[in-house]
Amino acid sequence: MSFSYQDWCKQHATMFSLHAEADPEMLHAWAMALSASGHSPEDLAEATQHLATTPGRVPLTRPQHLDAITKRLRERQMGRLRHNEESMMHDNHALCGGSGFVTVPHPRTIRDGVWQAPYYTCAVVCDCPTGNRRLASQAKRERKQMTLSQYEARFFTWKSLMAIKDAARSEMEKAKRLAQKGESDWLARRTRLSIAD
């Protein structure tokens, strides 16, 4: 059975000896308020555990309990948000490499959803904090550069277009290598034959 808000009320009461007559109702109200702010029973249990085991954080009065629990929950929530933001930034930077710009197929060379010769590319502004700074610095320009999300709204298949082009290029390189090898094999064989004559 999973840990419930009711379980947390009992746990917190036991851990801090909150056994006054009105305490169960008070703890229940706390749990409901914290639940409304998006905190799970497990989050509350972690906060209780943290307060009980961290020197200097053991609350004395009931209002101090609520403050301390709220503070701990907020700390962890901020930590999670920061972590999400960092990994999001990391994902985007894989595209721009930290430059704030992403190279994409030029809109003028995409016809009917196919990227066509001469395969021009252009740069759009990345959707990461570095890209946002780049965009801000263009604020005074008459025409601002397109952002990646604006571009992707029109050409959502651009990554596969580039991948197809890359694959085609490496196939062609392989074909050229084989042509070269075929030629030298043929030459070597002809030389051997003429020596044998």
The residue ranges that bind Zn ion (CB under 5 A) are 92-93, 96, 126, 128, 131
Q: Which is nearer to Zn ion, 105 or 131 (CB)?
A: 131
Q: Which is nearer to Zn ion, 97 or 182 (CB)?
A: 97
Q: Shortest gap between Cβ of 92 and Zn ion (angstroms)?
A: 4
Q: Shortest gap between Cβ of 97 and Zn ion (angstroms)?
A: 8
Query: Rg (Cα) of the chain, in Å, rounded?
Result: 32
Cα-to-chain-centroid distance, residue 30? 33
Round to whole Å and give the CA distance between 126 and 147.
Answer: 6
Q: Shortest gap between Cβ of 106 and Zn ion (angstroms)?
A: 20
Q: CB neighbours of 121 closer than 8 A, spacing ≥ 6? A: 103, 104, 105, 106
Q: Shortest gap between Cβ of 186 and Zn ion (angstroms)?
A: 50
- Cβ-based neighbour number of residue 125 at 10 Å: 24
Q: Which is nearer to Zn ion, 88 or 164 (CB)?
A: 88
Q: How far is CA 39 from CA 31, 42, 62, 82, 144, in A?
A: 9, 8, 20, 17, 42
Q: Which is nearer to Zn ion, 68 or 126 (CB)?
A: 126
Q: Which is nearer to Zn ion, 26 or 135 (CB)?
A: 135
What DSSP line would sit under 78-99, residue for residue? HHHHHHHHHHHHHHHHHHHTTS
Q: Give me the helix-helix angle, 5-15 and 41-53, nearest 10°.
A: 10
